[in-house]
């Protein structure tokens, strides 16, 4: 049987069709289904993603069935589409409630609740199949005449769904376990879902009561609003476990919008133009998303790396601190016995414990003394390093002149140089230096280490110690005719534990710490220390440069 009015036929435009009919049905269905598939594909295992897909598919089905009922004049087609759409229409709010529970509370609902929901749908489907929801077909208006059973059943279920949604929403707001962001997300989700259901059900129920089915078209836009909210949730809060980015959302909407233009194409030119712009948007969008995605991945990787680096760094700093503490304690404990040993040996050599008439034993005692001295120096260096690293070096500033300090050290080393068969000389500055602000002990430590090194690393020739100056700085220069330093080494020697390859092979002992400590001390005076050499085997010059005015004297 056919309706006796010229209905718009299937998907072709007709002036009889309500203006919004295609716009409300086809693009919204398409948009929903594409959105649902997109979310599902991003994370197939997550229950909310699956539920959203089913919901969007059902929504699209509802649109198509509704459209079929609208545009057909064959009463059998209209009836089947109409009846089937009743089942889908009832299922949507129930499934929405399920999605709400799973999305907001992040866990599946109880089995019993599922059965209950399923039962409501099954009973209704049975009623539809038995013809309890339609009383007759109105051929004049080309529509079904619905029964009051349908009205009551639907109203009851929809009211129950809204009530459950409301109760659950209030409960969620009171829950303390949700974080600020989770709560925000849940509120936005609920608002979107509520708008969707409300718009759909409200307009459709009114349409049915008022027998004005044109109202139905407006209800469908609720889905677009809901999906818009979801899009925001995805971009802002990574909802549905999707790391979607703004660019993706933009391209996605552009593709849907340009894609939906096809439904309004009136002639071939329109179709060609639509097709070209669609292809352009799709291709450009693809490349845009790809590059943005790569950028985001790189950023995330970097963030991850810097987080683990920060952790490693903290750990390293902690370890470094522990090491310094350990060295400091160990060195303090070592220092005292080493000094005591030297004291006893000195006494023995002086004959305090009886005459030392065995030259072999005397020689042995001298050797022990030297080794002990070297060990003490090492302990001193280690102690200094640990103090430097802990930032605990203290300076005691004195207003004094530099010359006597250097002179005293020169005097101290004459014997050692002579013993090794080396010449040693001291050249006073041509004009006397002004009084300077110095930590005398630290200066002694630096300069004596440099003279000691010069003697240690020279086999032939000698060592010259001199003081030069210009208008602002004094320079203590320790020059030797020893093993020399290569250009690269000259720069790195002032680091911790650095010794040149040549030195390592020599039997001189040494820790590679003296220059590091010295550099720190000189810099505390506002000066610098550096090495010069014409190359390996050609002697070296170590220069300690100190400004006349110490910039740190008030620290
Ligand atoms: P140490 O002498 O205990 O090894 P230093 O920090 O005083 O430690 O010196 C670091 C390294 O610099 C030495 O091991 C040596 O390789 C090099 N060096 C220092 N002074 C001289 C010098 N006068 N001639 C050649 N090399 C030197």
Helix 75-105 × helix 148-174 angle, to 10°? 20
| C-alpha–C-alpha distance, residues 76 and 517, integer Å | 99
| C-alpha–C-alpha distance, residues 77 and 71, integer Å | 10
Is there a single domain that holds both residue 146 and residue 238?
yes
Asked if residue 298 belongs to a domain, the reply is no
- Class of residue 217 by CB neighbours under 10 A (exposed 0-12, middle 13-18, buried 19+): buried
Is there a single domain that holds both residue 449 and residue 335?
no
Token duo for residue 433: 């230096």
- Which atom, in ligand 1's list, is nearest to the CA of 454? 23
Domain boundary among 242, 260, 281: 242
| Alpha carbon nearest to ligand 1 atom 8, residue | 512
Residue 17's pLDDT band (cuts 50, 70, 90): low
Question: Residue 314: pLDDT above 90?
Answer: yes
Is there a single domain that holds both residue 526 and residue 458?
yes
Q: Is the minimum distance from the CB of 493 to ligand 1 under 6 angstroms? A: yes
Q: Quote the mean pLDDT of the chain.
A: 87
Helix 21-42 × helix 246-260 angle, to 10°? 150
**Which of 417, 453, 485 has most ligand 1 atoms within 8 Å of CB, for mutation?**
453
Q: Is the minimum distance from the CB of 500 to ligand 1 under 6 angstroms? A: yes
Is there a single domain that holds both residue 419 and residue 517?
yes
**Which of 373, 384, 457 has most ligand 1 atoms within 8 Å of CB, for mutation?**
457
Is there a single domain that holds both residue 446 and residue 315?
no
User: What is the whole-number distance in angstroms between the Cα of residue 493 and the centre of ligand 1?
Assistant: 7
SS3 400: strand
Task: Provide the CB-side half-sphere exposure for 33 (13 A, CA).
Answer: 14
DSSP character string of 346-374: HHHHTTTTS----HHHHHHHHHHHHHHHH
Domain boundary among 242, 266, 290: 242
| C-alpha–C-alpha distance, residues 272 and 270, integer Å | 6
Token duo for residue 244: 């979607």
Rounded mean pLDDT, 444-473: 94
Beta bridge partners of 144: 137
Rounded mean pLDDT, 251-266: 76
Is there a single domain that holds both residue 321 and residue 406?
no
pLDDT for 28 equals 85
Rounded mean pLDDT, 491-511: 82
Is there a single domain that holds both residue 342 and residue 404?
no
Tens digit of each residue's pLDDT (9 = 90 or more) over 27-76: 788 889 988 998 898 888 889 999 999 999 999 999 889 888 877 778 88
Question: Residue 237: pLDDT above 80?
Answer: no
Is there a single domain that holds both residue 227 and residue 375?
no
Asked if residue 233 belongs to a domain, the reply is yes
Tens digit of each residue's pLDDT (9 = 90 or more) over 361-373: 999 999 999 899 8
Asked if residue 1 belongs to a domain, the reply is no
| C-alpha–C-alpha distance, residues 358 and 292, integer Å | 86
| C-alpha–C-alpha distance, residues 433 and 393, integer Å | 27
| Beta strand residue intervals within 332-440, DSSP E | 398-400, 423-427, 436-438
Asked if residue 194 belongs to a domain, the reply is yes
- Which atom, in ligand 1's list, is nearest to the CA of 478? 23
pLDDT for 13 equals 45
pLDDT for 12 equals 43
Is there a single domain that holds both residue 213 and residue 325?
no
Rounded mean pLDDT, 198-203: 89
Q: Is the minimum distance from the CB of 511 to ligand 1 under 6 angstroms? A: yes
| C-alpha–C-alpha distance, residues 20 and 216, integer Å | 10
CATH code, 538: 3.30.565.10
pLDDT for 450 equals 96
Residue 189's pLDDT band (cuts 50, 70, 90): very high
Asked if 57 contacts 223 with a C-beta cutoff of 8 angstroms, the reply is: no
Backbone angles phi, psi at 549, to 5 degrees: -100, 115
| C-alpha–C-alpha distance, residues 314 and 306, integer Å | 12
Cα distances (Å, whole numbers) of residue 506 to 15, 364, 481, 483, 515: 105, 22, 16, 11, 18
**% of the chain with per-residue pLDDT over 70:** 94
| Alpha carbon nearest to ligand 1 atom 19, residue | 453
Rounded mean pLDDT, 428-433: 89
Is there a single domain that holds both residue 107 and residue 215?
yes
Domain that holds residue 423: 398-547
Residue 10's pLDDT band (cuts 50, 70, 90): very low
DSSP character string of 131-186: TTTEEEEETTTTEEEEPHHHHHHHHHHHHHHHHHHHHHHHHHHH-SSS-HHHHHHH
Looking at residue 423, the DSSP 8-state letter turns out to be E
Q: Which of 216-220, 288-292, 418-422 has the lowest mean pLDDT?
A: 216-220
CATH code, 219: 1.20.1070.10
| Alpha carbon nearest to ligand 1 atom 14, residue | 499
pLDDT for 519 equals 95
Residue 467's pLDDT band (cuts 50, 70, 90): very high
Asked if residue 267 belongs to a domain, the reply is no
Asked if residue 268 belongs to a domain, the reply is no
Rounded mean pLDDT, 286-301: 86
528: enclosing H helix or E strand = strand 528-533
pLDDT for 281 equals 87
pLDDT for 11 equals 42
| C-alpha–C-alpha distance, residues 46 and 3, integer Å | 46
**Which of 452, 497, 512, 538 has most ligand 1 atoms within 8 Å of CB, for mutation?**
512
Q: Which of 175-184, 211-220, 355-364, 450-459 has the lowest mean pLDDT?
A: 211-220
Domain boundary among 242, 267, 289: 242
pTM of the predicted model as reported, rounded to 2 decimal places: 0.52
Tens digit of each residue's pLDDT (9 = 90 or more) over 81-125: 989 999 999 999 999 999 999 988 888 889 999 999 999 999 999
Question: Residue 217: pLDDT above 50?
Answer: yes
Token duo for residue 346: 């000195």
| C-alpha–C-alpha distance, residues 534 and 93, integer Å | 89
Task: Provide the CB-side half-sphere exposure for 80 (13 A, CA).
Answer: 6
Is there a single domain that holds both residue 418 and residue 451?
yes
**% of the chain with per-residue pLDDT over 90:** 44
Residue 227's pLDDT band (cuts 50, 70, 90): confident
User: How many distinct structural domains can be found in the chain?
Assistant: 3
Kindly give the residue spans of alpha helices, DSSP state H, lying in 180-267. Answer: 180-210, 216-219, 221-237, 246-260
Asked if residue 36 belongs to a domain, the reply is yes
Q: Which of 272-276, 310-314, 550-554 has the highest mean pLDDT?
A: 310-314
Q: Which of 254-258, 319-323, 470-474 has the highest mean pLDDT?
A: 470-474
pLDDT for 142 equals 73
Asked if residue 157 belongs to a domain, the reply is yes
CATH code, 330: 1.10.287.130
Q: Which of 4-8, 235-239, 341-345 has the lowest mean pLDDT?
A: 4-8
Which of 209, 213, 197, 105 lies closest to 157, judged by CA? 197
Is there a single domain that holds both residue 382 and residue 402?
no
Which of 193, 116, 187 lies closest to 162, judged by CA? 193
Which of 471, 478, 479 lies closest to 431, judged by CA? 471
- Class of residue 91 by CB neighbours under 10 A (exposed 0-12, middle 13-18, buried 19+): buried
pLDDT for 99 equals 94
Rounded mean pLDDT, 131-159: 84
| C-alpha–C-alpha distance, residues 235 and 193, integer Å | 17
Contacts of 330 (CB under 8 A, 6+ apart): 382
């Amino acid at each position: 049987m056919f309706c006796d009015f010229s209905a718009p036929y299937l998907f072709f435009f007709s002036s009889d069709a309500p203006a919004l009919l295609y716009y409300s049905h086809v693009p919204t269905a398409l948009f929903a289904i594409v959105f649902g598939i997109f979310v599902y594909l991003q994370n197939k295992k997550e229950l909310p993603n699956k539920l959203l897909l089913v919901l969007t598919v059902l929504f699209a089905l509802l649109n198509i069935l509704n459209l079929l009922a609208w545009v057909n004049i064959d009463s059998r087609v209209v009836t089947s589409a109409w009846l089937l759409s009743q089942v889908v229409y009832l299922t949507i709010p129930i499934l929405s409630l399920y999605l709400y529970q799973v999305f907001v509370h992040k866990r599946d609902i109880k089995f019993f609740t599922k059965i209950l929901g399923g039962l409501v749908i099954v009973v209704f489907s049975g009623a539809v199949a038995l013809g309890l929801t339609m009383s007759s077909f109105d051929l004049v208006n080309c529509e079904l005449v619905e029964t009051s059973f349908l009205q009551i059943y639907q109203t009851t279920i929809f009211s129950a769904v809204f009530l459950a949604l409301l109760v659950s929403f209030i409960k969620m707001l009171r829950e303390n376990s949700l974080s600020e962001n989770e709560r925000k997300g849940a509120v936005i989700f609920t608002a979107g879902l509520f708008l969707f259901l409300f718009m759909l059900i409200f307009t459709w129920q009114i349409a049915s009561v008022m027998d004005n089915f044109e109202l139905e078209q407006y209800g469908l836009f609720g889905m677009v609003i809901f999906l818009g909210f979801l899009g925001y949730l995805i971009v802002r809060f990574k909802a549905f476990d999707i790391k979607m980015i703004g660019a993706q959302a933009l391209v996605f909407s552009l593709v849907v919008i340009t894609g939906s233009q096809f439904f309004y194409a009136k002639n071939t030119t329109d179709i060609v133009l639509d097709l070209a712009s669609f292809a352009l948007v799709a291709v450009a969008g693809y490349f845009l998303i790809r590059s943005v995605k790569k950028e985001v991945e790189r950023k995330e990787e970097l963030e991850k790396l810097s987080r683990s680096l920060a952790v490693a760094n903290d750990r390293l700093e902690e370890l470094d601190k522990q090491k310094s503490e350990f060295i400091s304690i160990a060195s303090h404990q070592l220092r005292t016995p080493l000094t005591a040993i030297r004291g006893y040996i000195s006494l023995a050599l002086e004959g305090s414990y009886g005459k030392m008439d065995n030259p072999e034993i005397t020689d042995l005692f001298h050797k022990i003394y030297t080794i002990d001295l070297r060990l003490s120096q090492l302990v001193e260096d280690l102690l200094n390093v640990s103090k430097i690293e802990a930032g605990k070096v203290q300076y005691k500033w004195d207003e004094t002149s530099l010359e006597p300090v250097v002179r005293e050290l020169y005097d101290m080393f004459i014997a050692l140089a002579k013993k090794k068969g080396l010449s040693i000389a001291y050249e006073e500055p041509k004009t006397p230096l002004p009084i300077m602000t110095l930590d005398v002990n630290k200066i002694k430590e630096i300069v004596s280490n440099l003279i000691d090194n010069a003697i240690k690393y020279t086999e032939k020739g000698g060592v010259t110690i001199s003081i030069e100056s210009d208008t602002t700085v004094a320079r203590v220069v320790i020059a030797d005719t020893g093993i020399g330093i290569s250009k690269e080494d000259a720069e790195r020697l002032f680091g911790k534990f650095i010794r040149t390859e040549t030195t390592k092979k020599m039997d001189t002992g040494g820790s590679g710490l003296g220059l590091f400590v010295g550099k720190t001390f000189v810099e505390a005076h506002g000066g610098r220390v550096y090495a010069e050499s014409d190359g390996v085997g050609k002697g070296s010059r170590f220069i300690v440069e100190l400004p006349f005015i110490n910039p740190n004297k008030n620290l």
